């Protein structure tokens, strides 16, 4: 990829994801239970080759998750099937801490099965009193003999409580803030691990986790003691631009719907595209979508070239998520009441587009990351 243009191979991957989302995933989503993990979709993403593309099978420098491929797949799926998009992303988010910091045995045990869609992964960081400030998280892991005992609560964990494997962040020392956190692997079904689903405005598999004296051997520790916060932050540095790609896909779909309608719909004796109030609003929206896409793919390309950083990731997420909210709103305004009929794709996007401005770091946290870098 040059600074300004995706290659034909990259465009083909995005189109392949779009087509798999439309032809193979949409029917499975329609048949599935809303707001719950859809294992058929996850398996389809494995069989169709999208999840395997996401995961290197071995650990090491040449086994990085390719940020650009992640973004291409997320953008393509987002245009047609946000539920499948989210399922792909969550397999990545939940598993990347293992790819990044796990032992070779952990990688061999989990990553191939996640890549086939056989097991469902989740990333468990947030707590009722620690969302934007995960350095203050309270779920405890106490050293007991050779192992650990974990107790506490996680909430707003995507794929909880049904995931097969959680990468989970726990406090292993007091008074150290972000430096007192350690990452663990917690398999679903471990004694003492329970949870419940939370119903959101856009149906999404998400819930709480309750850990009551969950005993784990030291083999389930992910990375060094006290290094868990960095495991989480490195994961977010990879995934934040790709949240932007999800939003670019949704914004593009909304724009396409609005442009199509503006050509067709007539009012006051002419197509509504011939009113500048409509055409200029869509011209602005198209410009913003392009700007968001460029920021997203430049952050991803920098990551893949080993030149990525938290600021680029934050800028991409901030701009793309905020842009998508505006563009979906413009599209709804152009289509009018029909866009708010519950079965309309724009009504679906309207509900889906709100959460990315909050999860994986709110827009305010992204500004904080950018500002810290500016004034460092
Ligand atoms: N990569 C690697 N290490 C990082 C890092 C990154 N991107 N960001 C911070 N660190 C390291 C710091 O270098 C520091 O290390 P030392 O202890 O060796 O000095 C340590 O982590 C603590 O960093 P810092 O003091 O900057 O942490 P803060 O508590 O101030 O938090 C922000 C920084 C705000 C950026 C962080 O809390 C954040 O991203 N919050 C949002 C969390 C979020 O996305 N929540 C949603 C849940 S996931 S859906």
pLDDT at res. 58: 47
pLDDT in tens, 227-280: 999 999 999 999 999 999 999 999 999 999 999 999 999 999 999 999 999 999
Strands (E), the chain: 121-124, 140-144, 147-158, 165-171, 181-187, 193-197, 206-216, 221-222, 266-267, 270-271
Ligand 1 atom showing the smallest separation from residue 126 Cα: 47
**Complete DSSP assignment for 276-307:** HHHHHHHHHHHHHHHHHHHHHHHHHHHHHTT-
Q: Of 68, 96, 120, which one is at a domain's C-terminal end? A: 120
pLDDT at res. 3: 67
Q: Tell me, what CATH number does 213's domain have? A: 2.40.110.10
| Cβ-count burial 354-366 (b if 16+ within 10 Å, e if not) | ebbbebbbbbebb
Q: Is residue 1 part of a domain?
A: no
Q: Is residue 255 part of a domain?
A: yes
Contact 57/102 with Cβ under 8 angstroms? Answer: no
Q: Are residues 243 and 362 in the same domain?
A: yes
Contact 246/356 with Cβ under 8 angstroms? Answer: yes
pLDDT in tens, 75-88: 999 999 999 999 99
Ligand 1 pocket, mutate which of 135, 182, 223 (most atoms under 8 A from CB): 135
pLDDT at position 12 over 90: yes
- Please tell me which residue in 83, 118, 360, 368 is annotated as part of the active site: 360
Domain span holding position 220: 123-227
Q: Tell me, what CATH number does 364's domain have? A: 1.20.140.10
Q: Of 85, 101, 120, which one is at a domain's C-terminal end? A: 120
Q: Is residue 3 part of a domain?
A: no
pLDDT at res. 175: 86
Q: Which tokens belong to 156?
A: 């707003």
Q: Is residue 79 part of a domain?
A: yes
pLDDT at res. 261: 98
pLDDT at position 183 over 60: yes
The torsion angle over the Cα atoms of residues 41, 46, 50 and 56, rounded to 10 degrees, is 140
pLDDT in tens, 142-168: 999 999 999 999 999 999 999 999 999
Q: Of 73, 101, 120, which one is at a domain's C-terminal end? A: 120
pLDDT in tens, 316-334: 999 999 999 999 999 999 9
- For this structure, is 118 an active site residue? no
Nearest CA to ligand 1 atom 2: 230
Task: Tally the domains of the chain.
Answer: 3
What residues does ligand 1 touch, defined as CB less than 6 Å away?
Answer: 125-126, 131-135, 178-179, 229-230, 233-234, 236-237, 310, 359-361, 365, 368-369
């Amino acid at each position: 990829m040059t600074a300004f243009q995706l290659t034909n191979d990259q465009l083909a991957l995005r189109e392949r994801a779009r087509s798999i989302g439309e032809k193979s995933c949409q029917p499975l989503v329609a048949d599935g239970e809303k707001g719950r993990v859809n294992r058929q979709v996850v398996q389809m993403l494995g069989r169709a080759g999208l999840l395997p593309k996401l995961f290197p099978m071995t650990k090491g420098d040449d086994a990085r998750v390719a940020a650009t491929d992640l973004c291409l797949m997320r953008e393509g799926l987002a245009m047609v099937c946000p539920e499948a998009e989210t399922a792909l992303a969550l397999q990545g988010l939940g598993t990347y801490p293992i790819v990044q910091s796990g032992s070779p045995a952990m990688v061999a045990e989990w990553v191939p099965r996640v890549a086939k869609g056989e097991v469902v992964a989740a990333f468990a960081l947030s707590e009722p009193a620690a969302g934007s400030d995960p350095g203050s998280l309270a779920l405890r892991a106490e050293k007991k003999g050779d192992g650990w005992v974990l107790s506490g609560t996680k909430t707003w964990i995507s794929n909880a409580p049904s995931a097969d494997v959680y990468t989970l962040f726990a406090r292993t020392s007091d008074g150290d803030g972000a430096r007192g956190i350690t990452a663990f692997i917690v398999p679903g079904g471990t004694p003492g691990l329970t949870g419940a689903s939370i119903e959101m405005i856009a149906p999404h598999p998400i819930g709480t986790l309750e850990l009551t004296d969950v005993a784990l051997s030291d083999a389930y520790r992910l990375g060094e003691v006290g290094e868990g916060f960095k495991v989480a932050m490195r994961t977010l540095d990879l995934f934040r631009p790709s949240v932007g790609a999800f939003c670019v896909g949704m914004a593009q779909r909304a724009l396409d719907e609005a442009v199509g309608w503006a050509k067709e719909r007539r009012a006051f004796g002419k197509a509504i595209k011939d009113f500048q109030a409509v055409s200029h609003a869509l011209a602005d929206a198209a410009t913003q979508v392009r700007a968001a896409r460029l920021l997203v793919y430049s952050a991803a390309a920098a990551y893949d070239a080993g030149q990525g950083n938290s600021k680029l990731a934050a800028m991409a997420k901030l701009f793309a998520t905020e842009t998508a909210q505006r563009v979906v709103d413009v599209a709804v305004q152009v289509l009018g009441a029909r866009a708010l009929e519950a079965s309309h794709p724009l009504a679906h996007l309207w509900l889906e587009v709100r959460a990315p401005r909050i999860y994986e770091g709110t827009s305010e946290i992204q500004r904080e990351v950018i500002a810290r870098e500016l004034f460092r």
